[in-house]
Amino acid sequence: MRHACRNAALLLFYATGFFPLVGCGEEQGRSSISGTVTYEGQPLETGFVNFLPQNGDGPTAAGEVTKGQFSVTGIFPGKKRVQIQAADQSRTYSSPAPTPNTKDSAIFPPNAIGNNQTIEIIPGSQTLDFKLKKP
């Protein structure tokens, strides 16, 4: 009898129009992006990629970069400014950027070419590769 009541309640739930809500979740209409981040051709060991609304209105999204790879889900479509940060940003850089073959060769200055670019996020999945260079 208990199962019959529960089944009737579920049938009523689905029949009254609540069925379309099942499985739709918050991610519907959003985007997922994966890809790579390199600086001077070398994978960024650790850091973050941030997707900021170009007009400043709306939520931001971010993901961790590990060994040059990143993946971010739940991004609202639209124009975004991509800000990439190395994990060790405690060091300040004056021009020029650190020279290659140093301990800091994978750490880049915030004004690296290719950083802070504007891109268009479309619904669904995208693959993006960010190839940063010395300013």
- Return the half-sphere exposure (C-beta side, CA atoms, 13 A cut-off) of residue 117: 13
Domains of the chain and any CATH numbers: 29-132 (2.60.40.1120)
Question: Once rounded to an integer, what is the mean pLDDT over residues 88-112?
Answer: 53
Residue 9 main-chain phi, psi, to 5 deg: -65, -40
Looking at per-residue confidence, does 14 or 45 come out higher? 45
Distance between CA atoms of residues 31 and 72, nearest Å? 8
Q: What's the burial of 92, exposed, middle or buried (CB within 10 Å: 0-12/13-18/19+)?
A: exposed
Q: Which of 10-19, 86-95, 114-123 has the lowest mean pLDDT?
A: 10-19
Which whole-number Å values give the CA distances from 29 to 19, 73, 118, in the listed order? 18, 11, 20
In this prediction, residue 39 carries a pLDDT of 94
Token readout for 37 is 């981040």
